[in-house]
Amino acid sequence: MKKATFLPESFASHLDALVQRLPARAVDRLEHRRKQAIYHPEAALRQQGSLSLGRRWLHQHRIMAGSLLLALLLGGLSAYHRNADHQRPVGEVDAALLGGELPPGAFTNPQFVQWLQEHAQQ
C-alpha cells in the first residue's frame, strides 16, 4: 500500500492561493480596519467589535456574577426562614414537654397516646 505523503511547503502554497482568493468584501473591510487602526486608533477602539465586546463581556460578567450572588443570597435567606419556621413548633413542643407534669416517657407509651386521643375527641 502506498504511504500518503504530506509536504508542508505544498500545503503553504495552497494557503497562498487562499490569500489570493479572499473575497473582495473581506479585502475592503481589512483595508478600512487598517486605515482606522493607523489614523484613528481611539475611534477604532471605541467602535471595534472584539475590544468593546471584551468590555461588554466584562460588564455582562459583572451583572451575571452580581445576579448569581443575589440569587444565592435570596435562596439562602429563604431556606433559613423555612428552616426556622419548621423548628419553632418543635421547640414549642419540647418546651411543653419539659414544662408539663407528665414524664416525657409517657408520650412514647402507645396506650397513653390512645387514651389521650380518645379524651381529646370527647
Partner 1 sequence: MTDSAELDRFLAGVERRAYLQARFAVQEEAAALDVVQDAMIKLVTNYRERLPGEWPLLFQRILQNTIKDYYRRQKVKNAWQVALSTLGLGDRHDGDEDTVEYDPPGEEDDDPAVRLAQRQRLAIIEKCLHALPLRQRQAFLLRYWEGMDTAQAAEAMGCTEGSVKTHCSRAVAALGKALASYGIEL
Closer CB to partner 1, residue 11 or residue 110?
11
Quick check: 33 binds partner 1 (CB under 8 A)?
A: yes
Taking the complex as a whole, the smallest distance from the CB of residue 106 to partner 1 amounts, in Å, to 51
Q: Would you give the binding string for partner 1 spanning residues 48-87, x where CB under 8 A is met?
A: xxxx-xx--x---x--x-----------------------
Kindly state the cell numbers that stand for 40.
Answer: 484613528
CA 104 to chain centre: 48
Piece of 30-38, 73-81, 82-90, 97-105 that binds partner 1 (CB under 8 A) = 30-38
**Rounded-to-integer distance, Cα 70 and Cα 78, Å:** 12
Whole-angstrom Cα distance, residue 17 to residue 11? 10
d(CA 32, CA 30): 5
